[in-house]
Amino acid sequence: MATHNTTLEYLTTTKIGEKGQLTVPKQFRQDLDLGTGAPFAVLRLGDGLILLPEQQRFERLCRRVSSSLTATGLTLEDVLSTLPEARNRVYARQYGKSRATQASRRHPRRQREK
């Protein structure tokens, strides 16, 4: 997995192929552990482009979310405990009814056994 590295280095140049494809130099692919089909975010900065492997962007997002949750004092258990209710709200918004209501209609005996 790639690590956070702020080094700016010039390795080589590359050309755009007939289908608009760029080749990422082998050394960078190896250093960043990028395989075939690895997704990239393409950012425009003035007259230039920045290619950012999506994995790095996702890792940064995870670190920011983790820092925010830690700063507020929330634990993993706190977050996980909210998932059933959050799922029910999303389900109700999508289908207009709660999952609990649907489950009792599909399996009436299960509700009585509880």
pLDDT in tens, 64-107: 888 888 899 988 888 889 889 988 988 898 888 766 655 555 55
Range 14-40 average pLDDT: 87
- Predicted local confidence at residue 38, as pLDDT: 86
- Predicted local confidence at residue 47, as pLDDT: 85
**CATH, domain range 1-74:** 2.10.260.10
The CA–CA distances, whole Å, from 83 to 17, 23, 74 equal: 47, 42, 14
Domain with CATH 2.10.260.10 in the chain: 1-74
The CA–CA distances, whole Å, from 44 to 4, 50, 52 equal: 21, 6, 11
Least trusted range by pLDDT, from 33-42, 61-70, 104-113: 104-113
Range 17-42 average pLDDT: 87
pTM: 0.41
